Structure 1
């Protein structure tokens, strides 16, 4: 059918987009699809052509601008970009980027069992990529293992998926407490900004270079230990481990004795709770390079023996460092005392979305694509390198929206015993309390809402009392 041949998610080989001819589809994500394509002009060449699934997706324009500013050997080169118009009035953004034959970082660690020195060199290269990104006025915003590819030919790492990134002068596409990113890699200062004491923030959190450095630290920690560091979410059970006096309990070398002290110390540096103490990406890169040169022979011992139950990679179930909590009477970190408070601002966009502020352990980590690396499917390249899913592709005419889930979201307010939600603005649907937004259905995704029976709804959080002394929140607030 003609509509199928024009669907960006299922284009046949031979389709021409710009000066590129599609060869085969290699993956699909939430917002785009990647094809292996060849040039129809001289000089010949093969590229990864990334095509938007929905018309007018501004993410691709922003990604093209950011990639055009960043020129570093560890960042895929942008060759071309434009708009594909299968018919009048409809256009889909596309990017043509350097084709890389590689594997995700954590899978590479399983197969190659790198040494501490190899990891130091690898991390230094990624830190340099971040240095150039920050120097160009950009922020990656989703550094993680699944967004790093290691080239098969020579073992060189590449920082991928700039689709979640931002740069100076770029417009904000959506309003949510957190920008695109992955909860398990989110810095402590980001959680404190949104979930700190007092009223919810009226503006979204703005990540900076220190957030990228912290995420690189989480990536390094999991690469070396096979586990995530403790959750920095202030309501997580292991948040007490972020107290300065407790950081030594869960260093990389504590979790993996084969990790040399130089590497462990630099991983800990990138994970320091105070952003200014982490150093810039350039400073981190220089320290990693120096450590790789000066480390002793122990740095050449493989980090894994191959006999571990599940070393870093292969997308294991989320595991975190296990340390016994402090005995009663020990004072918890100040930011843990802050209870979550939220106010319902209809039409103002100030509602804290359940999808954005839940602890990492509760963000659908159990199964499917979202279990791969910290609970968030990337908006760009990383998710696109997954095998092509067999399910039906979205219609090229469908609006950008997410359907309302069949059961309540984690932390969502539930109806009372009579099946009703308190307050005349709240509606009980599928066991949870929701608020209907006065927006068109095509704008529902931008409002961080869910589509249901032709309307757009957002979830209502169940407010909780703080675990320790602090400002009082009402449990019965609507």
Structure 2
């Protein structure tokens, strides 16, 4: 993408008082991979405040698709409301700004840890999110990047509001990238999406077709994080290890991490995280009813807070992750004979995963999107230096996303990378990724504002 006079460096933030169309900037709320969010005031109605998400670049197709979604199919009481558009600095050629509801409140995981809700209240909120997703899916709308910070619990009434449809999609929308997957968060990707990514070098022109079960898997990740204080698999793991765990490893049940979690709720979350999408809840409406039925049991365990509190300091006592324990060694699939590196890679996978997280390894399952062939599965880039695959690396957390600086940065998988000129595989330095004879260093995303507000809500006090 060529540079445009209205394009903005990620480190630049509009100053308070800046006029953007009919709105005046009050304060920056945060910056994400696609834009910066501000609290703004309606110039013609002083005292009316909204959130303005201003794209970082002019002619950003993702921002235009988000507007199309929010104006039409994604209109819903539990989806952040749309109020208008503006361009800056030029009203015709400037960067697109989306004006939305300003939703004071807390992200789902923050609310769960600091608001002291009971499991009954939590289940009711989760059921509302499930029903909302189901209604969006019927309209052909998929969020595709559902994570705890995109589920805002509104302070005024405690209701959930879905935020940030920046990578959302609706039936009939034209693809905006040539990559197999959009620039989404790896830790909320479903096993079948990761499996498709492994196969993508053989079908580079075929984008992944998201299904309702993908969004519901991501919701399971959100509920796991909220009820345990942990993600099913740490998001800071190297992408290769995280991908392998998502496809092959069963996380501990939430009740094993936080004994306060009711067994019925724990079982529902485990089902959402099943490797085979056919074993999950097929639709949001089905999950909604299952949650409500579980709560109707009326057991006292539903009426206690999610976490214990210290009596004096009112600080959270977050349950620790249990230590790894195996009744036997995790199974390791034998690689085919032609792949001499396969056994070493499989063993490395078992050792790394076994050392880092308490999990149960699974036998391969038949996915709706077929899993890679065995010879391909043995090269899941667990040892990037030795793996013969030329699969482009996925962006890491807090990495700058495309568009990249022309002539300086390399765009791969929707992320921006720098080529380390003086070194080549297999002598790539740490923090770099080998790819097609280069050592690539992820370009960090500039974050001048320490909060993470993709949806336009202020940081919790």
What TM-score, normalized to structure 2?
A: 0.69
Partner SS for 1:178: coil
Residue 10 to residue 194, structure 1, CA distance change in 2 (3 Å): closer
Partner of 2:262: 260
Q: Cα distance, 1:329 vs. partner?
A: 6.3
Query: Residues 48-100 of structure 1, C-alpha deviation per residue, up to 9 Å, x if partnerless?
Result: 01111111111111111112222322211111124334277x32111110111
Q: Do the aligned partners of 2:31 and 2:37 also contact (CA within 8 Å) in 1? A: yes
* Contact kept? 2:244, 2:380, Cα under 8 Å: no
Q: 1:414 to 1:322 in 2, by over 3 A?
A: farther
Partner of 1:158: 161
How far did 1:293 drift? 3.1
Tell me, in whole angstroms, the C-alpha distance in 2 between the residues paired with 1:416 and 1:133. 47
Aligned to 2:37: 34
1:141 shift after superposition: 0.6
The aligned counterpart of 2:116 is: 113
Could you tell me whether the CA contact under 8 Å between 2:410 and 2:419 is conserved in 1? no
CA distance in 2, matches of 1:252, 1:126: 19
Render the CA deviation track for 1:177-209: whole Å, top value 9, x for unaligned: 322221111111112222259946542322221
Deviations 1:128-161 (A, max 9, x none): 2212321221110111112222222332222111
Paired position in structure 1 for 2:458:
none
Q: CA deviation at 1:230?
A: 4.7
Aligned to 1:333: 363
Distance, in Å, in 2 between the alignment partners of 1:70 and 1:237 is 31
Distance, in Å, in 2 between the alignment partners of 1:431 and 1:224 is 34
Report the alpha carbon displacement of residue 270 of structure 1 after superposing the two structures with TM.
Answer: 1.2
What residue is the counterpart of 1:22 in the other structure?
25
**Structure 2 CA distance for aligned equivalents of residues 28 and 195 of structure 1:** 31
Pick closer, same or farther for the CA change 1:165–1:325 going to 2, 3 Å: farther
Q: Secondary structure at the match of 2:296?
A: helix
- What does residue 97 of structure 2 align with? 94
**Structure 1: 5+ residue stretches without partners:** 343-349, 357-362, 365-369, 371-375, 380-393, 420-429, 437-447, 452-478
Q: Does 1:311 align with 2:315?
A: no
Q: Distance in 1 between matches of 2:224 and 2:211?
A: 21
Inter-CA distance 321–74: structure 2 relative to 1 (3 Å threshold): farther
TM-score computed with the length of structure 1 as normaliser: 0.66
Q: Residues 361-399 of structure 1, C-alpha deviation per residue, up to 9 Å, x if partnerless?
A: xx45xxxxx3xxxxx7899xxxxxxxxxxxxxx99xx99
CA contact under 8 A between 1:226 and 1:310: conserved in structure 2?
no
2:193 pairs with 1:190: yes
1:281 to 281, 284, 290: 284
Q: Secondary structure at the match of 2:197?
A: helix
- Structure 1 distance, partners of 2:242, 2:166, is 32
RMSD over aligned Cα atoms: 4.3
* Aligned pairs (5 A) from 1:247-396: 250-278=252-280, 279-307=282-310, 311=318, 322-324=324-326, 326-327=328-329, 333-334=363-364, 337=374, 338-340=377-379, 352-355=391-394, 363=396, 370=398
The number of residue pairs the alignment matches comes to 376
Match for 1:135 among 133, 138, 152? 138
Q: Using the alignment, how far apart are the partners of 2:153 and 2:137 within structure 1?
A: 22
Unaligned runs of 5+ in 2: 334-361, 365-370, 382-388, 444-461
Call closer, same or farther: CA 1:432–1:263 in 2, change over 3 Å: closer
> How much does 1:32 deviate?
0.9
Distance 1:36 1:262 in 2: 40
Q: How far did residue 341 of structure 1 move?
A: 7.4
Q: Which residue of structure 2 lines up, in the alignment, with residue 77 of structure 1?
A: 81
Q: In the aligned structure 2, how far is the partner of 1:263 from the partner of 1:175?
A: 39
Matched, 1:67 2:97: no
**SS of alignment partner, residue 263 of structure 1:** helix
Deviation at 1:340, TM superposition (A): 3.0
How far is the alpha carbon of 1:16 from its aligned partner?
2.7
Q: How far apart are the structure 2 equivalents of 1:198 and 1:49?
A: 38
Aligned partners of 1:240 and 1:333 also within 8 Å: no
2 CA distance for matches of 1:257 and 1:242?
A: 26
CA distance in 1, matches of 2:64, 2:201: 37
Is the alpha carbon distance of 1:30 and 1:194 closer, same or farther for their aligned partners in structure 2, counting shifts above 3 Å?
Answer: closer
Instruction: Indicate conservation of the 8 Å contact 2:34/2:166, yes or no.
Output: no
- Number of the residue aligned with 1:104: 107
* Equivalence map 1:425-440=2 (5 Å): 432=434, 434=436
Instruction: Say if 1:102 and 1:152, in contact at 8 Å, map to a contact too.
Output: yes
Match of 1:415 in 2: 425
Q: Residues 432 and 78 (structure 1 numbering): CA distance in 2 closer, same or farther, change over 3 Å?
A: same
1:199-218 to 2 correspondences below 5 Å: 199=202, 202-218=205-221
